[in-house]
Every structure is written in C-alpha cells, then in structure tokens.
Amino acid sequence: MAHVHEHEHDENAGAEQRKAIWRTFWILLAITALEFLIAFTLEAGILKTAIFVGMTIVKAFYIVGEFMHLKHEVKSLIWSLLIPCIFVVWLLIALMREGGSIFDLR
C-alpha cells in the first residue's frame, strides 16, 4: 500500500511540473509573436532595439530558469554561471562603441 501511495504522489508532482513546462512554452510563444508584431509596426530606432533586447533576455530567463532548471539550483551555481556572462555584456557594449568609433575614423 505504501508503495502505491508513493507512486501516486510522484505522478501528482509530475503533473504540476508538466503544467509549468507548458506555461513556459506559451510564454515563449507569446513573446516571439509579440516580437513579430513589433518588427513590423514600430519604427527602427533605439527604442525598438531596446525592446527586442529586453524581450530576448526575458526569453533567455525562461529557457535557462525553467527548461534548464537553473532557477531551482543552489545559489552558488547560479552565480558562477551568471557572473561570467556579465563580462560578455561588457565586451559586447565595449566593442559596439569601438565599432562606432572605427566608422567615424574611416
């Protein structure tokens, strides 16, 4: 009897997890659809780029947090993966500014 009960409990936990998976899927789909809408309605510019980058980060948060389960890992693992990424952002901004400078000098 104890075994049956345990099995039942496992299945319930799985159902909850499956619900979270599908919710994440719908969120990702909605953001992608919204990106398309913005791509064809908003004028190109800083605001549009900022919205796209923001939405990408939200999507990345859901993929890494839910699908890759990082949200539920220990804090030291989360930080040891996030902190190196800060340097990537730094490099990206630095070299885009550098590119603008190269353009001005040419």
Neighbour count for residue 66 (Cβ, 10 Å): 19
Q: Which is nearer to another protein, 2 or 80 (CB)?
A: 80
Q: Which is nearer to another protein, 2 or 106 (CB)?
A: 106
Contacting another protein (CB under 8 A), which of 3, 4, 5, 76? 76
Residues counted in the chain: 106
Q: Which is nearer to another protein, 2 or 46 (CB)?
A: 46
- In sequence order, what are the residues at sequence separation of 6 or more whose Cβ sits closer than 8 angstroms to the Cβ of residue 81? 70
Helices (H) and strands (E) in the chain, counts: 3, 0
- Count of positions on this chain that bind another protein (CB under 8 A): 50
Interface with another protein, residue 37, by CB under 8 A: no
